[in-house]
């Protein structure tokens, strides 16, 4: 399994990392479930279930090893600090309900902190330095290594979310939500290649709909500099149970995993040709 291989490769305080051999970097910034004891003591009991985790994506993406991908995955929960938000904390979707750099509510609107307000300024600064900056420094370093080696890089941002969250969006999300910062984070040919794989499969999809890519996609995606970033936000109902205990469903995952792999392969082949 990819998770075991990563654990054997490189464990850091903020992340796990496995270095690959191709111009593909898969980032999973919301995979983490750990919460340090001192922070856990400040949280409501329900928060310790870390319900807003991007569950099991290391397992769903275990084809990454066959692709020679580098894989970077968070160890700590987004409830500690959200690695896919800007360090300055501004909203990525102005005017829409979102969760912030230091979340104080779950996706469903339940308060996370016993004190109702969340971490104070010194604690926010500590979390930024301890967890957020190391992850982003590693992202940047690996992107630069791959650019130096191959000339161009595909950064694939792997995410998943419950498909129905009335607080965040209306109705049900499409099963597969591709984000390229409205076309700014990758060459158009890369997205076209991905879309070209989606004609003969059973899942609904959209490009640059409700999710256009988070901070990592927007910040690192610089196609003019050879860095092509794509975010895939999947409905968790395509591969797991969306409610506690958030079980992985092989009967579902075995159907959607080949679809995801075809998308990644098509994007990687296109980046190699650019």
Per residue, the 3-state secondary structure of 201-214, as one string, reads: CCCCEEECCCCCCC
Tokens at 155, concatenated: 């950064």
The answer as to whether 2 is a domain residue is: no
Task: Say what angle helices 250-273 and 188-195 make with each other, to 10 degrees.
Answer: 140
The answer as to whether 7 is a domain residue is: no
The answer as to whether 4 is a domain residue is: no
Mean pLDDT by 10 residues, the chain (274 residues): 49 86 98 97 97 98 98 98 94 81 95 94 97 98 98 98 92 97 98 97 96 97 98 98 96 98 98 95
Can the peptide bond before residue 245 be classed as cis, meaning omega within 30 degrees of 0? yes
Number of domains in the chain: 1
The answer as to whether 64 is a domain residue is: yes
pLDDT of residue 4: 53
Residue 181, phi-psi category: left (phi > 0), alpha (psi -120 to 50), beta (remainder): left
CB-facing half-sphere around the CA of 235: CA atoms within 13 A? 18
pLDDT of residue 93: 82
Q: Which CATH number goes with the domain that contains 194?
A: 3.40.630.40
pLDDT of residue 95: 77
Sheet order of strands, 205-207 included = 10-11, 15-18, 70-74, 24-28, 153-161, 227-235, 176-179, 205-207
Q: Phi and psi (nearest 5°) for 209? A: -90, -120
The answer as to whether 5 is a domain residue is: no
The answer as to whether 6 is a domain residue is: no
The answer as to whether 210 is a domain residue is: yes
Tokens at 257, concatenated: 């995993």
Domain that holds residue 178: 15-272
Tens digit of each residue's pLDDT (9 = 90 or more) over 79-117: 999 999 999 988 888 778 788 999 999 999 999 999 989
The answer as to whether 84 is a domain residue is: yes
pLDDT of residue 184: 98
């Amino acid at each position: 399994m990819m998770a075991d291989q990563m654990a054997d490769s490189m464990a850091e305080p903020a992340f796990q990392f496995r270095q690959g051999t191709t111009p593909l970097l898969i980032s999973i910034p919301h995979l983490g479930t750990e919460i340090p004891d001192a922070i856990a003591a400040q949280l409501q009991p329900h928060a310790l279930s870390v319900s807003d985790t991007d569950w099991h994506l290391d397992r769903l993406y275990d084809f990454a090893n066959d692709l020679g991908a580098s894989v970077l995955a968070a160890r700590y929960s987004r409830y500690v600090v959200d690695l896919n938000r800007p360090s300055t904390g501004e909203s990525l979707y102005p005017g829409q309900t979102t969760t912030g750099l230091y979340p104080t509510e779950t996706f469903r609107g339940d308060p996370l902190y016993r004190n109702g307000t969340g971490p104070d300024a010194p604690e926010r600064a500590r979390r930024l330095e301890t967890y957020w900056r190391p992850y982003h420094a590693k992202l940047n370093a690996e992107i630069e290594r791959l650019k130096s080696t191959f000339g161009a890089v595909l950064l694939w941002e792997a995410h998943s979310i419950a498909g129905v969250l009335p607080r965040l969006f209306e109705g049900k999300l499409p099963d597969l939500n591709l984000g390229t910062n409205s076309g700014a984070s990758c060459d158009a040919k890369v997205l076209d290649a991905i879309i070209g794989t989606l004609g003969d499969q059973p899942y609904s999809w959209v490009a640059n709909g409700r999710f256009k890519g988070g901070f990592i996609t927007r910040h690192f995606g610089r196609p003019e500099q050879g860095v092509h970033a794509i975010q895939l936000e999947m409905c968790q109902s395509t591969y797991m149970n969306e409610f506690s205990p958030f079980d992985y469903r092989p009967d579902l995952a075995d159907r959607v995993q080949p679809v995801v792999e075809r998308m990644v392969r098509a994007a990687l082949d296109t980046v190699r040709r650019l």
